[in-house]
């Protein structure tokens, strides 16, 4: 057992490959999360928009179609389309992967943000408008701050899911944590130790994220009570 451990982590400083792969995983997930959060918020506001007669607006229709397409197709297929077709001129796999996962995450984040906004009492919007604020100002300064306590927990779960989904970036020749473990397994002809090592690293990172998100949620809840 010790020989297998040594071959998987110590020989030729292979532990560095895990850390390098973990760095790629975190980098892709981080930038994808930023793109997803920004895009998801915009899509949520688009889906909440209506015409003056109360019917669905063009923005609502566009956002709905986008969300349906993204949620209805596999993320690995979206990644391959971005790599081989849409962003084929890009040389950076990290950029392509971050954009692809960001576009994917945005569809899910939009539903989270939309649900959080709808959970706020509609009277808050009316109160803001009665004070002379525009609809956009009321949404920004009154509704969204109240919606945050409902949005933060599922957004955190989405980021954790996103981090795990990046394990497929090997399809575009990126050496993330999962691919690094596979490469070491192919060199040592032993899959158990490399894959367990990768699993432990994923678990540690996700556990840390879970604890941080729990503290953030507690802070929002505490401010809400005060």
Round to whole Å and give the CA distance between 90 and 146: 40
Rounded to two decimals, the pTM is 0.87
Which regions in the chain score pLDDT beneath 70? Answer: 52-54, 221-226
Residues with Cβ within 8 Å of residue 138, at least 6 apart in sequence: 124, 125, 128, 129
What pLDDT does 224 receive? 59
Cβ atoms of 21 and 176 closer than 8 Å: yes
Round to whole Å and give the CA distance between 112 and 176: 28
DSSP sequence for the chain: -HHHHIIIIIGGGTHHHHHHHHHHHHHHHHHHHHHHHHHHHHHHHHHH-B-TTSSBPHHHHHHHHHHHHHHTS-HHHHHHHIIIIITTT---HHHHHHHHHHHHHHHHHHHHHHHHHHTS-HHHHHHHHHTT--HHHHIIIIIHHHHHHHHHHHHHHHHHHHHHHGGGGGGGT---HHHHHHHHHHHHT--HHHHHHHHHHHHHHHHHHHHHHHHHHHHHHHHHH-
**pLDDT (tens digit, 9 = 90+) per residue, 12-33?**
888 899 999 999 999 999 999 9
Cβ atoms of 109 and 36 closer than 8 Å: yes
What pLDDT does 19 receive? 93
CATH class of 2-225: mainly alpha
What pLDDT does 64 receive? 94
**Phi/psi zone of residue 174: left (φ > 0), alpha (ψ -120 to 50 degrees), beta?**
beta
What pLDDT does 193 receive? 92
What pLDDT does 225 receive? 53
Cβ atoms of 39 and 108 closer than 8 Å: no
What pLDDT does 29 receive? 95
Two tokens, residue 106 = 């945005």
**CB-CB neighbours of 139 under 10 Å:** 19
Length of the chain: 226
């Amino acid at each position: 057992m010790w020989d297998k451990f040594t071959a998987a982590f110590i020989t030729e400083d292979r532990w560095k490959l895990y850390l390098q792969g973990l760095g790629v995983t975190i980098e892709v997930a981080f930038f994808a999360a930023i793109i997803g959060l920004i895009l998801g918020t915009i899509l949520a506001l688009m889906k909440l928009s209506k015409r003056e007669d109360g019917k669905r607006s063009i923005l609502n229709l566009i956002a709905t179609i986008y969300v349906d397409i993204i949620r209805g197709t596999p993320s690995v297929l979206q990644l391959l389309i971005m790599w081989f077709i849409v962003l084929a001129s890009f040389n950076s796999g990290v950029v392509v992967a971050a954009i692809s996962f960001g576009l994917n995450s945005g569809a899910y984040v939009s539903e989270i943000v939309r649900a959080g906004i709808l959970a706020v009492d509609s009277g808050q919007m009316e109160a803001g408008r009665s004070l002379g604020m525009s609809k956009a100002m009321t949404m920004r300064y009154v509704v969204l701050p109240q919606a945050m306590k409902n949005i933060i927990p599922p957004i955190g779960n989405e980021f954790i899911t996103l981090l795990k989904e990046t394990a497929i970036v090997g399809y575009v020749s990126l050496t993330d944590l999962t691919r690094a473990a596979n490469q070491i397994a192919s060199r040592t002809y032993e899959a158990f130790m490399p894959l367990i090592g990768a699993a432990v690293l994923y678990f540690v990172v996700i556990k840390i994220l879970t604890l941080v998100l729990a503290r953030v949620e507690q802070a929002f809840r505490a401010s809400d009570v005060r």
